[in-house]
Chains A and B, each alone.
Chain A
Amino acid sequence: MTKNKIKALIILLLTAGPVLAVAGGKAAPGTIDGFTAVDMPYDAGASVLLKWPVGPSDSADASYVVYGSSLAEGGWRKGEEFVATAKTCKDINLPFWAWDSGEAQHALKVELNTLFGDIPPGTPLKFKAQLLRKGSVEAESPAVDAASKSNWFRLDRLNNLLFLLVMIVIFFWAVSHAKRKGLFIRRIAGLDAIDEAIGRATEMGKPIFYVPGIGTMSSISTIASAFILGEVSKKVAQYDSDIKIPHYDPIVMTVCKEIVKQSYLEAGRPDSYREDMNFFVSADQFSYAASVDGMISREKPAACFFMGYFMAESLLLAEVGAASGAIQIAGTDIESQLPFFFTACDYTLIGEELYAAGAYLSKEPMLVSALKVQDFGKLVVMASVSLGIVLVSLGTKLHWDFFVRVILNLFKAY
Chain B
Amino acid sequence: MSETWMIAGGWMAAGLTIFLFSFLYRDNPFFKAAEHLYLGAGMGWWFQVYLFNIWKPKVWEPLLSGDFFVLIPAVLGLSLVTQFIPRISWISRYGFTFMMGYGAGLAIPATLSTDFMSQIAGAIQPFTALATMTPMMIFNSLVVAGGTICVLFYFFFSVEHKGAVKKISNIGIYFLMIYFGAAFGNTVMARFSLLYGRFDDLYTFSGANYFYASQILLIALVAYFILHSFLGGKKTEEEEPAH
Contact = CB atoms under 8 A, between A and B. Distances in A.
Contacts of B159: 184, 186
A183 B158 CA distance: 8
B132 to A, nearest CB: 10
B43 A283 contact: yes
Interface residues of A, number: 76
Interface in A335-381: 335-340, 342-343, 350-353, 356, 360, 371-372, 375, 377-381
B103 interface: yes
Interface in B169-192: 176, 179-181, 183-184, 186-187, 191
Give the secondary structure class of A's interface: helix
A294 B20 CA distance: 11
Contacts of B38: 286-287, 290-291
Contacts of A19: none
B100 A163 contact: no
Contacts of A220: 107
B124 A217 contact: no
Given A186-B157, A294-B31, A411-B124, A380 B116 contact: yes
A299 B176 CA distance: 35
Given A297-B23, A408-B121, A382 B149 contact: yes
A371 B42 contact: no
Interface residues of B, number: 67
B120 A381 contact: yes
A315 to B, nearest CB: 8
B149 A385 contact: yes
Contacts of B143: none
B27 A294 contact: yes
Given A281-B39, A291-B35, A340-B187, A385 B45 contact: no
B56 to A, nearest CB: 18
A352 B128 contact: no
B123 A385 contact: yes
B108 interface: yes
A325 B180 CA distance: 25
Contact of A381 (B46, B128, B152, B176): B152
B131 interface: yes
B93 to A, nearest CB: 11
B87 interface: no
B124 A298 contact: no
B128 A164 contact: no
Contact of A413 (B117, B145, B242): B117
Interface string A139-167: 00000000000000000000110011001
Nearest to A395: B128
A414 B34 CA distance: 47
B113 interface: yes
B114 A413 contact: yes
Given A186-B159, A218-B107, A350-B176, A413 B118 contact: yes
B112 A336 contact: no
A282 B179 contact: no
Interface string A100-136: 0000000000000000000000000000000000000
A4 interface: no
Nearest to B159: A186
Contacts of B157: 185-186, 188, 356, 360, 371, 375
B39 A381 contact: no
Contact of B121 (A339, A404, A412): A412
B22 interface: no
B92 interface: yes
A193 interface: no
Contact of A217 (B100, B117, B186, B191): B100
Interface in A278-297: 281-284, 286-288, 290-291, 293-294, 297
17 contacts: A217-B99, A254-B92, A255-B96, A283-B43, A284-B39, A290-B39, A291-B35, A300-B240, A336-B183, A342-B180, A375-B156, A388-B124, A392-B130, A408-B124, A411-B124, A413-B113, A414-B113
Q: Which 6 A-B pairs have the closest CB atoms?
A: A284-B42, A287-B42, A339-B184, A218-B103, A325-B243, A413-B117
